[in-house]
């Protein structure tokens, strides 16, 4: 089966973190790459196109997103239980404060589980949340290894499946996928 993990620049934050003149100050340890077209990810239609592509091209997928962009994705992803769509929560203890009065300490993860991997006994029993801190050093937005393993388990990935990391920023997700599939 064919799976994908999509951790795109978050809606409304792409240019700030990855655009020319934003917080991305060039390549180097802990710095994001600059992308002249980062602003495109600040448009809802770019995220909608990503969701439609995932629905048509992959048996299963995961999309990392903030609570602010959840409604954009769910406007095109059919969430009926028979479609295998679930919304998971990555809870990040000790989250850094933001410009908001309310610190965002969790992120949404939308997953699609293939039909033959949904039921009890079809994979590891697990919960729909992960409590794991975000990496404090390195590439902004990078995910911890535990996050990738949790997502792969939730989608029901097995050895022999193909899993693509669609947004290979720090390389952590790709490395975790390779390790997972070789040890599965």
Domain residue limits at 94: 2-183
- Give the tens place of pLDDT for each residue, 150-175: 999 999 999 999 999 998 877 889 99
Whether 95 contacts 105, CB under 8 Å: yes
Domain count, the chain: 1
Sign of CA dihedral 19, 25, 29, 34: positive
- Give the tens place of pLDDT for each residue, 43-73: 899 999 999 999 999 999 999 998 889 999 9
pLDDT at 26: 46
pLDDT higher than threshold 50 for residue 78: yes
Number of H helices, E strands in the chain: 5, 6
User: What whole-number distance in Å separates Cα of residue 51 and Cα of residue 45?
Assistant: 10
pLDDT at 28: 45
Instruction: Write down the pTM of the prediction.
Output: 0.85
Whether 118 contacts 82, CB under 8 Å: no
pLDDT band at 31 (very low <50, low <70, confident <90, very high): very low
pLDDT band at 33 (very low <50, low <70, confident <90, very high): low
- Give the tens place of pLDDT for each residue, 121-156: 767 788 999 999 888 766 667 789 999 999 999 999
- Give the tens place of pLDDT for each residue, 79-117: 877 789 999 999 988 766 666 777 778 999 999 999 988
Sign of CA dihedral 141, 142, 143, 148: positive
pLDDT at 13: 67
pLDDT band at 19 (very low <50, low <70, confident <90, very high): low
User: What whole-number distance in Å separates Cα of residue 170 and Cα of residue 143?
Assistant: 9
pLDDT at 170: 75
CATH number at residue 110: 3.40.50.150
Enumerate long-range contacts of 48-53, CB under 8 Å, 24 or more apart.
48/72, 48/73, 48/75, 48/76, 50/6, 50/8, 51/76, 51/77, 52/76
């Amino acid at each position: 089966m064919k799976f994908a993990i999509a951790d795109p620049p978050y809606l409304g934050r792409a240019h700030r973190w990855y655009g020319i003149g934003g917080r991305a100050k060039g390549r180097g340890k802990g710095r994001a790459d600059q992308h002249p077209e980062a602003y495109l990810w600040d448009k809802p239609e770019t995220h909608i196109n990503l969701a439609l592509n995932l629905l048509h091209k992959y048996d299963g997928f995961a999309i990392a997103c903030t609570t602010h962009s959840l409604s954009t994705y769910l406007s095109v992803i059919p969430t009926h239980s028979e479609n295998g769509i679930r919304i998971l929560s990555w809870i990040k203890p000790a989250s850094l404060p933001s410009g908001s009065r309310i610190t965002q300490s969790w992120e949404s993860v939308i997953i699609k589980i293939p039909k033959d991997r949904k039921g009890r006994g079809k994979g590891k029993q697990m919960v729909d949340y992960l409590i794991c801190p975000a990496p404090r050093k390195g590439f902004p937005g990078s995910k911890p290894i535990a996050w990738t393993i949790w997502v792969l388990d939730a989608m029901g990935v097995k050895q022999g499946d193909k899993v693509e990391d669609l947004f290979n920023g720090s390389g952590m997700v790709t490395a975790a996928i390779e390790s997972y599939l070789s040890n599965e």
